[in-house]
Chains A and B, each alone.
Chain A
Amino acid sequence: DTAVSQTPKYLVTQMGNDKSIKCEQNLGHDTMYWYKQDSKKFLKIMFSYNNKELIINETVPNRFSPKSPDKAHLNLHINSLELGDSAVYFCASSPTDGNYGYTFGSGTRLTVV
């Protein structure tokens, strides 16, 4: 079983559309994250949730809305997609107790045309 799974793996959509990316982890971790990796390969944190509660919200446009229905899932909804939203989005999770590192998903490559 994949520890952190994201769907879809690839997403091509037109400007102005609304899309969602789903993330699920089966590691029993309490904390989940969304990272964005742009064309220059910089990995930047967007959000983190701990037990369904929003903890970190970096300077991300309001068009991005994370939702955590339970601690095993963290979805990312994006409204009114723009060309600049094209990137690879990575979901990750980590335990709260101890610091055993983050486990990342394999990424969702979003292309806005």
Chain B
Amino acid sequence: DAKTTQPTSMDCAEGRAANLPCNHSTISGNEYVYWYRQIHSQGPQYIIHGLKNNETNEMASLIITEDRKSSTLILPHATLRDTAVYYCIAGPSTQGGSEKLVFGKGTKLTVNP
């Protein structure tokens, strides 16, 4: 699995957009970019994933650069409940085989009132 690099921590004001960067310069052509988050004492929660195109769902938007070497997760209107550790993972295109999601250290996002 490709390694990813994320800032250790970030702060964001409540109501503002939170933009979380991730570098994955060694991502292979068939690997997806996944984002998960872990709110304190809970299990990780899937947010979004993408291959090449930008993606949006009810939780967030994912912007992937054209060369696929980096991406940004955008939480459009951060709330206090978005305070969590956010993990960016360059991971398998399929599941159920020997592929696995490898979690790094993530970014601790703190949303301030």
Contacts and interface: CB of A to CB of B under 8 A. Distances in A.
Contacts of B36: 101-102
Interface residues of B, number: 25
A103 B36 CA distance: 10
A101 B103 contact: no
A90 B100 contact: no
Given A45-B100, A95-B95, A99-B32, 14 more contacts: A44-B103, A45-B101, A55-B96, A56-B98, A90-B44, A92-B44, A96-B94, A96-B95, A101-B34, A101-B36, A101-B49, A102-B95, A103-B46, A107-B42
Given A41-B85, A90-B43, A107-B42, A102 B96 contact: no
Interface residues of A, number: 29
Q: Which of A43, A96, A98 has the most CB of B within 10 A?
A: A43
Interface of A: 4, 30-31, 33, 35, 41-45, 48, 50, 55-56, 90, 92, 94-96, 98-107
Contacts of B26: none
Nearest to B43: A104
Nearest to A93: B95
A94 B85 CA distance: 21
Nearest to B95: A94
Contacts of A4: 43
A4 B105 CA distance: 24
